[in-house]
Amino acid sequence: MKLFHQRSAVLVLFGASAVLSAQQNWTVKPEWVRAHESFLASDVLAGRGSATRDEELTATYVASEFESYGLKHAPGMASYIQAAPVVMPELDGKATLEAGRGSSRTILKEDADFVLLTSSGASATGPLVRVASSEIQSAHIAAGSAVLLTGVADMKALMPAMSQIRRLRAAVILVPETPELSTLPQMFGGKTRVSIRLAEDPPRNSATILLVHADAVAKLSAANGTEINVTVHELPPATPRQTFNAIGYLPGTDPNAGTLLLSAHLDHLGIGRPVNGDSIYNGANDDAAGTTAVMELAHALAAGPPLRRSVLFVCYGSEEIGTLGSTYFGHHPPVPLKDLVANLEFEMIGTQDPKMPPGVLLLTGWERSNLGPALKEHGALVGPDPYPEQHFFERSDNYALALQGVVAHTAAGWGTPPTYHQPNDDLDHLDIAFMTRAIQSLIEPVRWLAGSDFRPQWNPGGQPQR
């Protein structure tokens, strides 16, 4: 009898050792990565438009993968889907811009004279202020102004300038069209982005942005201070809409050790303005690639030995229309936000950035905390973001949680690849081998983080403030 117990113990120990060894050598297979992408970026899902049935189908696919890996429902949830009602105004596409009054009045029309890139869903007005992009940091821009942004050389110069103007709460931003900016409508999804909000939130003010055609810019000859009025027309309310987060949970062995959050966004731009006859914005890189990373990390960690910390795997809906899914998650977290040890978001990891070392992902806000260096020390292929002027740290789902104190960063492949917000962001333009290596490099560092006492901290001055 004693011999039997000794032999059983040896077999149990041998089995446990074999399992541990096998899982520590877990290999992400490129065919798994390609299979996820083949579905998520297929024309069947029509670009996974935010708060659409296609987004719901995407969330259902991710949820089914979570369930197949053995993940549990998150605390307090009865399914793998977190749904949130949203308010989505629709416009009739017949906006007008009026400058001045009386005999000097100028009226511009949507499509003929300008493209309406974004709108709050309501008409907007403000005194005209001309600002050169090279002087944006020192310019005096009063809240509620209508800013005519001049001297924009290219897209890289435009984005930081618009971010600054938005922070100053301008009511209208007028961007003169140039050959370099001709693709701007496609970057915004080929249709007007209307300010959309969670049904539980109050309406929010956001800038109305117009791309003014070159021949129409000359018509805006009014001097500074002339009143600019942009009038839009909202269509009657359509069917109520929802956005969908897919959430899986891997319980840890120590309830007091905290929870690690791995996340991405599962939506994209849906159907938009055609480019070369293609109107489906597939979003293979943005962000089916990040969604794939979250699923394959869940696959690997769930197959391994129990972890000390719990891990939440979340793929958000409606990032593209204002990070609504992650905002709702932040309002209704299945675990208290104070218990989140860190958040690692994955965004566009499908191609290699030419400014990064071969095979390495950029981590936004690298210098803000000790998370990136710690992961790199344990083998993760991550490094500092080479584009601080683009404010990528503030432009993904990590930011809402960072504002609430959670050490939260985004890992990305290429900040602004040529396919960004274009219909050719498809399977053919992905580097599956690069994706696979990047995901593989994160398994053991994340396993270490989920099993250790290390708790990432903000560096002095690194935590963003509201």
Q: How many domains are contained in the chain?
A: 2
pLDDT band at residue 20 using 50, 70 and 90 as cut-offs: very low
In a domain, 7, yes or no: no
Residue 237: which residues within 8 A CB-CB, separation 6 or more? none
8: in domain: no
pLDDT value for 21: 45
| CA–CA separation, 108 and 230 (whole Å) | 9
Q: Does 13 fall in a domain?
A: no
Question: Do 102 and 79 belong together in one domain?
Answer: no
188 DSSP 8-state letter: T
271 and 392 together in one domain: yes
Residues 217 and 298 reside in one and the same domain: no
Same domain, 245 and 371: yes
Q: Are residues 199 and 77 in the same domain?
A: no
Condensed to tens digits (0 to 9), the pLDDT of residues 26-49 reads 999 999 999 999 999 999 999 999
What share of the chain has pLDDT > 90, as a percent?
74
- Parent domain of 442: 26-87+239-451
Name the domain boundary from 181, 211, 231: 231
Helix (H, G, I), strand (E, B) or coil at 123: coil
Q: What is the pLDDT of residues 274-296, one digit of tens each?
A: 999 999 999 999 999 999 999 99
> Are 110 and 71 within one domain?
no
- The confidence score (pLDDT) of residue 328 equals 96
Specify if 458 maps to a domain: no
Mean pLDDT rounded to a whole number for the chain = 91
What the block records as the tokens of 211 is 């791309």
441 located within any domain: yes
CATH code at position 101: 3.50.30
Same domain, 251 and 193: no
Q: Are strands 361-363 and 408-412 parallel, antiparallel or unpaired?
A: antiparallel
Residue 61 pLDDT: 98
Q: What's the CATH number where 246 sits?
A: 3.40.630.10
- How confident is the model at residue 91, as a pLDDT? 92
Indicate the residue among 198, 231, 264 that finishes a domain: 231
Q: Which among 131-145, 228-242, 445-459 has the top mean pLDDT? A: 445-459
Whether the Cβ atoms of residue 378 and residue 444 lie closer than 8 Å to each other: yes
pLDDT-derived band at 222, boundaries 50, 70, 90: low
Assess whether 134 and 217 both reside in one domain. Answer: yes
Do 288 and 398 reside in the same domain of the chain?
yes
Residues 218 and 250 in one domain: no
Burial of 466 per CB tally in 10 Å (0-12, 13-18, 19+): exposed
179 and 104 in one domain? yes
Residue 217: is its pLDDT beyond 80? yes
Return the amino acid letter for 362: L
Do 199 and 256 reside in the same domain of the chain? Answer: no
Residue 85 near residue 212, CB atoms below 8 Å = no
Cβ burial 30-40 (10 Å sphere, 16+ → b, else e) = eebbeebbeeb
